[in-house]
Structure formats: structure tokens, C-alpha cells
């Protein structure tokens, strides 16, 4: 894909990818993509990240069912970050069971959990808990 050549990949061949709910505009998460992940995201119409810890492609929701369907992909002016406007299936983007990964809020010199857990993490990753499209 020629469009992938326009991306300014970092030294590890990665680019930060910000997922934003296309309706509420809430920032859901930040993860990483390599060229293969971005190509798969474009082709499949669902978000595919690169897992730095597992060193493999990670289709968001492959275990939990909380898939992120692509509505729009944007790239910033420096061409070194992508913004993924998504439909978040099941309203949970975070592996902790919250709607967003950015749930820690700085207040009075400490980090406060500011978002409720919607689904217990143990339930998310147990068999049979998958969200249906």
C-alpha cells in the first residue's frame, strides 16, 4: 500500500495510534501500530495494533470481543501519529473493564481512578464473555 510509505515510522518501525470514539469523541486508548498492523486495519475495517510486549499483531477484541470498528483514519501534520475514529463494541476499550484507558486523573498530588469499571476484568477474559457484533 503506497499510503503506508507516507507514514513516518519511529526507529522501531512503529507509530502511536490514538483510538477515539467517533460519536462521543472520548479518547479511548493509545497503542502502537507497525506497517503490517496499519495495513490490516485498513483492509479489515477493524483496529489491529502491534503488541510491543507480545511482539505480534493484536486484533483489538480478539479475546474480549470488545472490537474497535474503523469509521475514519487520520494522520497528523507531522505524519508520525494516527487517529483512529472508531465504533467501540461493548463500550469497553480498556483491559481493566473501563470505557477508556485514560481513567487515572491527577488531583491534589495523586492519581485518582475517575472512571467506573463496567465489566470485571476476570469476566472479560473468561470464556463465553465475547461481545456480539
How far apart, in Å, are the Cα atoms of 47 and each of 36, 106, 112? 12, 29, 29
Averaged pLDDT of the chain = 93
- Give the strand pairing for 48-51 and 56-59: antiparallel
Report the pLDDT value the prediction gives residue 122, as an integer from 0 to 100: 87
Between CA 11 and CA 19 the distance in angstroms is: 22
Cell matching residue 6: 507516507
Q: Could you tell me if residue 66 is inside a domain?
A: yes
CA 64 from chain centre, in angstroms, equals 13
Read off the pLDDT band of 125 (50, 70, 90). confident
Domains of the chain: total: 1
126 vs 74, residue with greater confidence: 74
What does 50-80 look like in DSSP terms, one character per residue?
EETTTTEEEETTTTT---EEEEEEEE-TTSS
pLDDT for residue 63: 87
Residue 28 in domain: yes
Question: Over pLDDT 90: what percentage of the chain?
Answer: 86
Look at residues 53, 85, 52 and name the one whose alpha carbon lies nearest to residue 68. Answer: 85
Give Dmax (Cα) for the chain: 48
Q: Is residue 129 part of a domain?
A: no
Q: Is residue 103 part of a domain?
A: no
Q: In terms of residue numbers, what domain contains 27?
A: 2-92
Residue 133 forms part of a structural domain: no
Decide if 101 is inside a domain: no
Task: Give me the CATH number covering residue 27.
Answer: 3.10.20.810
Q: Is residue 49 part of a domain?
A: yes
pLDDT of residue 106: 96
Amino acid at each position: 500500500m503506497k499510503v503506508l510509505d507516507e507514514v513516518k515510522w519511529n526507529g522501531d518501525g512503529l507509530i502511536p495510534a490514538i483510538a477515539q470514539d467517533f460519536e462521543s469523541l472520548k479518547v479511548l486508548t493509545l497503542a502502537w501500530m507497525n506497517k503490517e498492523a496499519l495495513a490490516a486495519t485498513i483492509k479489515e475495517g477493524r483496529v489491529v495494533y502491534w503488541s510491543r510486549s507480545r511482539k505480534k499483531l493484536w486484533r483489538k477484541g480478539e479475546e474480549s470481543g470488545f472490537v474497535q470498528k474503523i469509521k475514519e483514519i487520520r494522520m497528523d501534520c507531522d505524519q508520525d501519529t494516527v487517529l483512529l475514529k472508531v465504533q467501540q463494541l461493548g463500550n469497553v476499550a480498556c483491559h481493566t473493564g473501563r470505557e477508556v484507558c485514560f481513567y487515572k486523573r491527577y488531583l491534589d498530588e495523586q492519581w485518582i481512578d475517575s472512571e467506573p469499571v463496567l465489566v470485571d476484568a476476570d469476566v472479560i477474559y473468561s470464556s463465553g464473555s465475547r461481545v456480539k457484533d
